[in-house]
A and B are shown apart, each in its own frame.
Chain A
Amino acid sequence: MELLALILLPFLAGLVLLAFRPGAMARGIALAASLLAFALVLHLWYSWNGTPVVGISRPWVPAFGIHFVLGYDGIALLMLVLTGLLFPFIIGSGWKQPVGDPSLVNALLLFAQSALLGVFLARNAFLFYIFFELSLVPIFFLLLRWGGEHKRSITIRFFLYTLLGGLALLFSIAYATLQTPAPHSADFSALAALHLPMHTQIWLFWTLFLAFAIKMPIFPFHSWQPETYTMAPMQGTMVLSAVMGKMGLYGIVVLVFAIVPEGAAHWRNWVIGLSLFGALYAAIIAFRQEDFKRLVAYSSMSHFGLMAAALFTWNAYGISGSLYQALAHGVLMVSLFYIVAAMAQRAGTNALSAMGGLKTKMPRMALLFLFVTGNAIALPLTQCFPGEWLIYNGLWQLDHWTAFAGVALIVLGAIYMLYAFQRVMLGPIGIGPDRGLAVADADDGEHFFLVPLIAITLLVGIFPNVVLHLVDGPVQQLLNTFTLLP
């Protein structure tokens, strides 16, 4: 019951906003709803006893094996925490950086949250698929309505590109379901029990994996990402990078590893190679980006590459590190894109060349940005460090040279992040015309947004076990299934 309530809560709140159009009050209502949803998630976490939970299981379209099954394990719970934690921030960011009509924007955000919670609660592949695609709809509207330059063509391209992956996913799920013994079932448990022949797994792996590779994205399925992130309104970018990309990681764990483990074993070196290459490639590109937002977009892609590679290492450090990093990356991206928007609002553009020397005018914002930069380059005692450390251990256990390639990111990350920090904050002020006059330091609203995020960053960085313990059991189970592979 509470699982269904969790999904419906944001959805109904969104409907209320659409029905009553409360104007500026919409943000407050949306924030309250998302906080309530987070409280529910925390309640689930608090009452969780470490074993998988099935809350609801009812037949829906039994002929196709579609059942309405909601439940969660530690990995799903981690993703629920991610969604629950970040949506109040994403909604709250609208206070300082309003996107457009507050009733509609917040309704769309709540619909997206509802769908995303559904994705992470679904225990039936068709149900998962429905939520997976539904989550796209509100974001589609958000981008189409309030995006930047070329919003129409970029949004359509993005939408169709991801839909392409989605269709392959739908096909794969249908195919796998039909292979289950009659009566067919698309429940995760039924699909995990499948033992598809190797020649099937080899192609089915790609049709399943494609949607998730695009969603994260990893190289070379990323080409929609930089332009979409750059064009999207801030809240849209946040949802895309901080939460929706994680559907890719999650989908790999619950579907790819479950349905085609041998296919994954067959292809995993390729996936690791592509992901790591993409991570390095994006980090190198980020260095000379002239557009602040696009720079952060490439940094997000670089992080995703590392997470995806680690997920395929198939050892405890790599998988735990990757899942842990899903949360850390979410917090990081929400803070970074917020700062990008705050800077762009002051400079009137995303261009780094129009910024510089802003620390003189806004020492507090510079300090906040410095904390976020420290997290981005994974300084120890920030949230990103334990994740990267575990990922490097996972890569090392897999192959020493792969670990070399991965660890090179600590240099590349420092190169582009510190350069970005310098170009925004340091140096002499007033490079451009009539600048430095209207630039105000971080105000209460911005503190109210960034300080809690930074506090989370430090707390989790100091006590990462709180998060790591969530995934301990499920990761061990995954590893057990991998060791049984021929």
Chain B
Amino acid sequence: MTVLEWFLAALVLCGALPQVSGCYQYALASVHRFRRRPTPVGASFPRVAIIVPAWNEEAVIGRTLDQLAALEYPAGHLRVYVVDDASTDATPDRVRAKAAQYPGLVFHLRREKGGEGKAHTINHGLTIIREEGWYEAVMVIDADVILTPPALRRMTRHLLDPDVGAVTAYIKEGSRPGNTVNRFIAFEYITAQGAARRAQNVLGAQACLAGGAQLIRRSSFEAIGGRIDTSTLAEDTVTTFKVQMAGGAVVFDPHAIVWAEEPRDLGGLWRQRVRWARGNVQVTSAFRGIWFNRARGGPLGGIGFAFIWFSIFLMPLLMVLSTAGLLGLFFIDEDTSVHVFRTLWFLTLLTYLFITLSSFSMDPETAKRCWVQGVCFPGLVSLAIIAYASFPSLLDDLLVPALHDLGISTTGALPTVALIFVYVWPTACMGFAWLNCRLERVRGLRWAAMPMLYLVGYGPLLCAITTAGYLKELRGADMVWEKTEKTGHIGAELTP
């Protein structure tokens, strides 16, 4: 092989970096029992002020407040402040009714001028609780989330360790009955939360306090200025980074479970995740001095953490580089390109097996409900390519005779076209995922969006959304907080 061919082969294998990073995270997560910061044995019940930002949450706020009242937490140690961001529906009435029902627990804070976004709403509540001075820890939750009864006491026990500045819970998808999109998200959260955050516990650096449920010790909160960042679309990630840079450890508790309602269609998912992707660009840029720099970034400056962060952050680019490398090899030496292609996709098979089976092991309850979506996560097309690339002789024995039976010739241009198709698929699938989201809007064809989602895959969809987020950020689009609509679909069986 020439130097150019080695270079192109290296580009191709860049496409495997996100999967290798995934395996790295699952390997770390599997030793979580032994390598994490020790969980203090005992209980701690600091006075916790829960801030609930709410804008037009009439469908969910009453139930949320009922379940907060049912938390296993000592009476008198908990206050819930609903910051009503100038809601125009029945939210104020619902909250006032709950404040009367739970005196001393629920408080209604009304902003007459709203619409500035979630971070501003939270800051309004924070200003008031800081003036009041009662709290020892502050917890910010979304208006729709359902904390399981032991969640808060499981989170607060970590504050027995004086080095812990903040704690985040395990957010799980709670829509019941969930649809296909909900179940894909539920499976995604095993990876993105259950595994990734366990791995980050082991590394000693957390990427993000879940926006839906984050607990911060008062001293840590005051150390970062006592306010939530309003300059980015990822205020929760900024808080997480600042707490750690101020010397506080951030801990994920996988046994403090919080149910959240997630988008039910591709359009809603697209809007939510574009916002997250743009926020990640802003955070990566705002904290550019910490990467690979332990002196400045502390635990965030570690190589392992940066590897995880950037393999996800750069995933769309890595896919494009991988495709470009394969096509380059194809035009130089087709045989070499086939060899490298098979190596890449066989590596994909191994990582897919490890990640999928480990996900089933890490959260068997969710896996039981969503195993089909777990298996189909990369998409049926990608699974077919994995099978073809990994065991070509087995598939040739089946596929070629079948094509002959159908009267399709397997000589001539067809093999070349098929080869180029599978080479460009890692990039092309993002385009198909984008088209699928458009398909969902077309009246009469909406039914086809879900079968297409299984074909194209949920992973490629996330990659496409990330790309769209980056492009939007590069264009300098307005930072509009597009709220995810909540309809109260969290299953009644999940509420206390």
Q: Tell whether A and B belong to one assembly.
A: no
A: which residues have CB within 8 A of B?
A: none
B: which residues have CB within 8 A of A?
A: none
